[in-house]
Amino acid sequence: MEGFRPFGIPIKDLEPVILLFEEYEAFRFCDYEGLKQEEAALSMGVSRPTLTRIYEQARKSIAKAFVEGKALFIDGGNFHTDDFWYRCNACLKLNICEEAIHHCIYCQADDLRRLDQKPSKHDHETE
């Protein structure tokens, strides 16, 4: 899943709303996993006020897509995570795991694309 769109409208006719990965993550922690904002902020490695800003933007983007009938794409942003994020190229589902995996947790396919951006020591040396 890379996003959502209203039924019955071709994707080419829809204006997109972008939900950044960090917004998706804040929304997932707060609304799906039911964490308090302090816990979600700690999990994301940001301050509670920063988490609140990210979370509020996520809610606004999701509301805009639903109310105005726009496509919602999950993409981009500036995030670092200790979790491993993969997109399965077979079933297209997002896999978020605490450890590296080699097979999709949904369909067991071994065709995974890594999405998270983990800076390496070498990356810091070239900055």
pTM here is 0.62
Q: pLDDT digit string (tens) for 18-39?
A: 898 899 999 999 999 999 999 9
Claim to verify: residue 23 and residue 69 sit in the same structural domain: yes
CATH of the domain at 63: 1.10.10
Strand order in the sheet with 84-88: 94-97, 84-88, 112-114
Query: What range does the domain containing 102 cover?
Result: 84-117
Is there a domain that residue 126 lies in? no
Joined together, the tokens standing for residue 75 give 């993409």
Claim to verify: residue 28 and residue 56 sit in the same structural domain: yes
Greater model confidence, 91 or 122: 91
- Residue 122: predicted pLDDT: 39
Claim to verify: residue 31 and residue 63 sit in the same structural domain: yes
Number of domains in the chain: 2
Residue type, 73: F
Taking the mean position of all CA atoms in its chain, how far away is CA 46? 16
Claim to verify: residue 61 and residue 102 sit in the same structural domain: no
